[in-house]
Structure 1
Amino acid sequence: MTASAAIAASTIQAASYVAVQSNPQSTWLTVVQVGAAALSPVIAVVGGWIAWQQVRINRNKLKLDRFDRRFEIYEAAMSFVASIVTHGSVREEWRGEFQLKSRGALFLVSKEIDQYVEELLKMSNRLVYLTIQLQTPLLTDAKREELGSELTNVHAWFHDQWKIIPEKFAPYLAVDDI
């Protein structure tokens, strides 16, 4: 290869290098490639943040749903006791409604509340029993007085539940738990 041919070849290489560097399409292609490479991690971080927000929202929704269901049990207990205290007796439909609304207390609230619900039902049964027994015409005066005293105690027990129910449910209905 002659010297002039070598000079011509290097001139052609230099010219093609300058042509590539001055080509605006090539510059934009490089910018787009760099931008795409930089944008991928940003999109991944934003996607992760959105996913975390969805997790938080779903947890709060679960807490709110649990609160609503627990509050239904609380309201059922208060309504049941209010009906008994107001009327001085127990109707079967009140008891059935209370049992229906308070089912699941063991799973939704606690074992303690489930036992308390059972105690309310047991005491309501006792109230019905005492009321029926006092209507028996063949009772002695002593037995009638004994049953009447026990009936008064059961009425007082139900009246006391106005204060006890909120105390028992308070830890499970705290607003900071939501």
Structure 2
Amino acid sequence: MHISASITTPMQILPTLLVGFAAAFIAWQQLQVAQNKLRLDLFDRRYKVYDATRKFLASIFSNATFTDSQLFEFYAGTSDAEFLFGSEVVDYLAQVKYRALNMLKYQKIYECMPAGEERSRHVDAAFIERSWLEEQLTAITKTFTPYLGFSHIQ
């Protein structure tokens, strides 16, 4: 009996090993699925920030100004940026906000002024801010591509 016990032991171990390898493979596959889902969820949240910024810039481009509701939508759409992006994107969004508010400030100032040199300075300042903001419609892609691009996915 001692000989038959040594023969059946490897036969009993083989199914256990196969089940163990199958369980490890399934766990590895679940890890891959979880990582891909995290990437997709992160992409969706980041894209919403990109889209809010793009829409805000497009409204400035088409109207040469923006409304309070458009500014609120931009703020609401980009409020999570510091948790989703690196400092370069967060700083970029702060610059967009700053320059948009500057543009609006200059516009409000020169609307009430009579024609003259001081009014022209405010018109020029508003134009510089608006021009920078309009250029961002194409430059925004470069800023967001490292976070939204698919070149790193195999």
1:141 corresponding residue in structure 2 = 116
Per-residue CA deviation, residues 68-98 of structure 1 (Å, 9 max, x unaligned), is 1111111111110000110111211111111
- Give 1:155's match in structure 2, choosing from 114, 118, 130: 130
Residue type of the partner of 1:99? Answer: Y
| CA contact 1:105–1:111 (8 Å) conserved in 2 | no
The whole-number CA distance in structure 2 between the counterparts of 1:85 and 1:109 is: 25
Per-residue CA deviation, residues 6-25 of structure 1 (Å, 9 max, x unaligned), is xxxxxxxxxxx9xxxxxxxx
**Following superposition of structure 1 onto structure 2, how do residues 112-123 of structure 1 map, counting pairs within 5 Å?**
112-123=88-99
Residue type of the partner of 1:54? Answer: Q
The Cα of 1:140 is off from its aligned counterpart by 5.9
| CA contact 1:70–1:108 (8 Å) conserved in 2 | yes
The whole-number CA distance in structure 1 between the counterparts of 2:30 and 2:59 is: 43
Question: Cα RMSD between the aligned structures?
Answer: 2.2
The unaligned stretches of length 5 or more in structure 1 are: 1-16, 18-26
- Give 2:49's match in structure 1, choosing from 65, 73, 83: 73
Per-residue CA deviation, residues 29-72 of structure 1 (Å, 9 max, x unaligned), is xx987643320111001000100100011011101111111111
- Give 1:42's match in structure 2, choosing from 8, 14, 18: 18
The whole-number CA distance in structure 2 between the counterparts of 1:148 and 1:135 is: 9
The Cα of 1:152 is off from its aligned counterpart by 1.4
1:172 corresponding residue in structure 2 = 147
TM-score computed with the length of structure 2 as normaliser: 0.88
Structure 1 or 2, whichever has the larger Rg, is: 1
Task: Provide the identity percentage.
Answer: 24
Residue type of the partner of 2:87? Answer: K
The whole-number CA distance in structure 2 between the counterparts of 1:72 and 1:89 is: 22
2:83 corresponding residue in structure 1 = 107
The unaligned stretches of length 5 or more in structure 2 are: none
Corresponding residue pairs, total: 151
The whole-number CA distance in structure 2 between the counterparts of 1:147 and 1:52 is: 62
1:96 corresponding residue in structure 2 = 72
TM-score computed with the length of structure 1 as normaliser: 0.77
Residue type of the partner of 1:133? Answer: I
